[in-house]
A and B are shown apart, each in its own frame.
Chain A
Amino acid sequence: MTPIELTRSPIVKAALRARWPQFVIRVIALAGFVFAILSGFIGTPVGNHNFSIVFVWIVWWALLMLIVVPFLGRGWCAVCPIPLPGEWLQNGALLKPRGKGFGLNRKWPRRFRNIWLQNIAFTLLALFSAVVLTQPGVTGLVLLLFLIVALATSLIFERRAFCRYLCPVGGFIGLYSQVAPVEVRVKDPAVCAVHTEKSCYTGSKDGYGCPWLIYPGTLTRNINCGLCLECLRTCTQDNVAFNLRSFGADLKQPGGRRLDEAFKAFIMLGAALIYSAVMLGPWGALKSAAYSIGTPQWLVYALSLLGLIYIVLPGTFLIAVAVGRTLTKSKETLKKSFSAFAYALVPLGLMAWIAFSLSFVFASLSYLWPALSDPLGAGWNLFGTAHVAWQPYLMSIVPFLQAGVLIGGLWWACMTARRIAAEQQTGRAITLQALPVMGFCFITTTGLLGLLIG
């Protein structure tokens, strides 16, 4: 399907270019974020009655994983409050460019221009997730740390270096944004080729150069584009478009596949498997082990998590890729094939996370009502819903949704694997090369089915 340019409609173009709607949403998000930190520190220690736990790990997470990421890719990044204080200081302005701001504006170190730091940050969060997700004080601390690190990064380095190279959330939203049906792309690369100012990257009086350190002229994948829409505002040639496109379009792009992104796919898939077993399984010993940080049991849990994510999954996948290469006498290097085929795990991982999230979100969503009326657990009743009792929603249909999502993800992964194989092979060799990878996807899908609906 050829992308449909939504900005062809003057209303859409004006709405996306307007700064105020995005600004207002950003400020509300920042207020919510700061309030969540406060709530974590001074609110009730009971997680399911504290704004920070309920609105971050249930409401925000549900919106993110079930709606925003699949349909809007990095849409959250467009309104995320974390980089804002730093960005405002960097720019010396809240809205349009005004002149100089604060900050050393250093270039991000070359050797960290990848997502390995984001991979590590996410892994660290995963190791402590049982405590982070359930203790308001710890959530508050983590959110505050995000804010401080983002601010510090903004004062030292240029633009949104934090978002691009450090943010653990951005790591996986970026990877999965390849699946989303929206994109920002230039309309005609030839126009960019003769445009010397490159205001999309250097900025103009109407907007900033891409905060994500991307040159929009050659942007072909969503992974690093935060949908902030600055380029839409600064391009003096009106050559930037916001498009509607088919799902998974970026996965069809050959080339440009990287090992750090491949490992992100394994981290997410492994985390989905582990969380499905530990958090949603019936085995209390696993939960206690995940929670009791510092004990030998936790160490076993941590090592198992690290082992699965960094050794077992990639190792098995490597074998699958190697077998496929051998069967077809592929001319591609093993490393390139490995990185390439790992992108088949992008739809698989996204569906796995959606399936996982469906279960705990609908079981816990009713906590939203008391948390809304009494966010600090202080006895308020702002909207009259403070005493709404806990009630799981839709639990009889959730298993069917999970099954559908996982089977769909498997099909999608198989098709992606075939497409990747077709970049190197023709005819029967496509199937042969993709077959072991498809088998890997089938086994992980069965594992997730067993854990989530078994």
Chain B
Amino acid sequence: MKAERIALLLVIVLVMGVPLAAVLARSNSDTIEIHAQMADNGGWTPSDLKAQVGQPLHLRLTSDDVMHGFAVGQSDAPALDVLPGQWTTTTLLFDQPGKYTFYCTRWCGPSHWRMRGTIEVTGAATGATTETITTTAPLYVTLNLDLDAPHPSDVVPNEKPSAARGVSLGVILDRIAAPDRTQTSGAQVWHQLRSSSITQHLSDEQVWDLVALTWRSNTTPERLAEGQQLYAQNCAACHGETGKGDGVIAPSLKKTPMPGMTMTGHETVAPIDFTDAKNMLGASDAILEGKIIRGGMGTGMPYWGPIFTAEQIQALVDYVWTFQFER
């Protein structure tokens, strides 16, 4: 019967046609689809990409659970939000071969920092200049510093040193042999300033204010602002917005190291308290920079080497000192 045939056609077209169309519409183009999940559930899938120098790499990203973000380490391209159930498209272009790291930029749980992938870029370098890029080893390597050795300070201030107070003291720091802050700790700077003849009339606390001033003189408001933003986005979740090591993620990291406890390197401990003067003032910028780059220390601290540029790490280190010094 004709009516039955039409009815059957309708059923086939709608009931089978619509899903078929949907399945076919999920086409495979040359765009790579990346699914983001919290790191414990898989992280980035796929997490290892390959690209060619000079060839655009088209990516489509979606999240399968919570809000994530996407950025390529040491790149100035802004981070992209990767939204649950929605897609973000981007195109990457590399003009240097090498191994690049991409990472999640929105906190997505305690394992957020482990959510990383690599892009292996091959091919000949392009670019207007023929100069080769040389990478310099970080200071802690060239100076052969032991990042894991404890660094307690032998002197601590009674209250938080202030660079502004240091300015009002009217001491011209250039007259004192300028301590190389990158390699000397806050305590060592204090000793150097203390032993100078120009500071004889000052109290110990006032000399600390001068230490704060040397810190501030070696940085800029722009670097501090950048450091603050980097800290807020990357560090505060564990180290705390006030630097005390009491960040919201900290409780899910395990124990504080007890004296005499042997660390195997696989457990995690509570994040360091940046407001602890005794611990912090015994460390130099080089040590802090090294810890940020290399991470580890048996504490679960992420390694930021592939993620931050040298300038960004410098900004971060400058900012970390705001937990010890007032501007």
Contact = CB atoms under 8 A, between A and B. Distances in A.
B86 interface: yes
B4 interface: yes
Interface string B32-71: 0000000000000000000000000000101111000000
B15 interface: yes
A387 B87 CA distance: 10
B84 A49 contact: yes
B7 A377 contact: no
Contact of B11 (A30, A35, A42, A45): A30
B18 interface: yes
B176 interface: no
Contacts of A24: 10
A10 B23 CA distance: 45
Contacts of B4: 93-95, 98
Interface in A272-320: none
A15 interface: no
B22 A94 contact: no
B11 to A, nearest CB: 6
B19 A38 contact: yes
Interface string A14-28: 000000000110011
Interface in B160-209: none
Contact of B64 (A38, A44, A95): A44
Given A38-B23, A379-B62, A48 B18 contact: no
Interface in A351-386: 370, 374-380, 386
A49 B25 contact: no
A96 B15 CA distance: 20
Nearest to B26: A378
B86 A95 contact: no
A34 interface: yes
B85 A49 contact: yes
A67 interface: no
A31 interface: yes
Interface string B1-21: 101100110110011101100
B7 A44 contact: no
B85 A34 contact: no
B19 A27 contact: no
A50 interface: yes
Interface in A33-54: 34-35, 38-39, 42, 44-46, 48-50
B14 A27 contact: yes
A387 B14 contact: no
Given A49-B84, A94-B4, A31 B18 contact: yes
Contacts of A377: 62, 85-86
B8 to A, nearest CB: 6
B311 to A, nearest CB: 35
A31 B14 CA distance: 6
Interface in A80-134: 93-96, 98
A44 B62 CA distance: 9
A375 B26 CA distance: 12
A46 B85 contact: yes
A44 B37 CA distance: 12
B19 A35 contact: yes
A383 to B, nearest CB: 15
Nearest to B27: A378
A193 to B, nearest CB: 35
A389 B18 CA distance: 26
A34 B19 contact: yes
Contacts of A380: 25
A30 B84 CA distance: 28
Contact of A375 (B22, B63, B65): B22
Determine chain B's interface SS by DSSP, over half rule.
Answer: helix
Nearest to B5: A94
B18 A387 contact: no
A147 to B, nearest CB: 11
B11 A27 contact: yes
Nearest to A136: B85
Contact of B86 (A31, A94, A370): A370
Given A38-B19, A96-B3, A379-B62, A28 B85 contact: no
Contacts of A38: 19, 22-23
Nearest to B85: A49
Contacts of B84: 44, 46, 48-49
A24 B10 CA distance: 8
Nearest to A47: B85
Contacts of A49: 84-86
B3 A42 contact: no
Nearest to A382: B25
B7 A94 contact: yes
B62 to A, nearest CB: 7
Contacts of B62: 44, 377, 379
A212 B10 CA distance: 25
Contacts of B14: 27-28, 30-31
B89 to A, nearest CB: 8
Nearest to A375: B22
Contacts of A94: 4, 7-8, 11
Contacts of A378: 25-26, 87
Nearest to B16: A34
Contacts of A374: 86
B15 A46 contact: no
Nearest to A84: B11
Contacts of A46: 63-65, 84-85
A56 to B, nearest CB: 15
Contacts of B3: 95-96
Contact of A45 (B1, B18, B65): B65
A95 B26 contact: no
Contacts of B26: 42, 376, 378
Interface string B199-222: 000000000000000000000000
Contact of A34 (B10, B15, B60, B64): B15
B86 A30 contact: no
Contacts of A23: 7, 10
B7 A35 contact: no
Q: Which of B16, B23, B84 has the most CB of A within 10 A?
A: B84
Given A35-B18, A98-B1, A375-B22, A27 B85 contact: no
Given A45-B64, A379-B62, A380-B25, 14 more contacts: A23-B7, A23-B10, A27-B10, A31-B14, A45-B65, A49-B86, A50-B85, A95-B4, A96-B1, A96-B3, A376-B22, A379-B60, A379-B86, A386-B86
21 contacts: A27-B10, A30-B11, A30-B14, A34-B18, A35-B18, A38-B23, A45-B65, A46-B63, A46-B65, A46-B85, A48-B84, A94-B7, A95-B3, A95-B4, A370-B86, A376-B22, A377-B86, A378-B25, A378-B26, A378-B87, A387-B86
Interface of B: 1, 3-4, 7-8, 10-11, 14-16, 18-19, 22-23, 25-26, 60, 62-65, 84-87
The list of the 8 closest CB pairs from A to B, nearest first, reads A49-B85, A46-B85, A379-B87, A31-B14, A94-B7, A46-B84, A377-B85, A38-B19
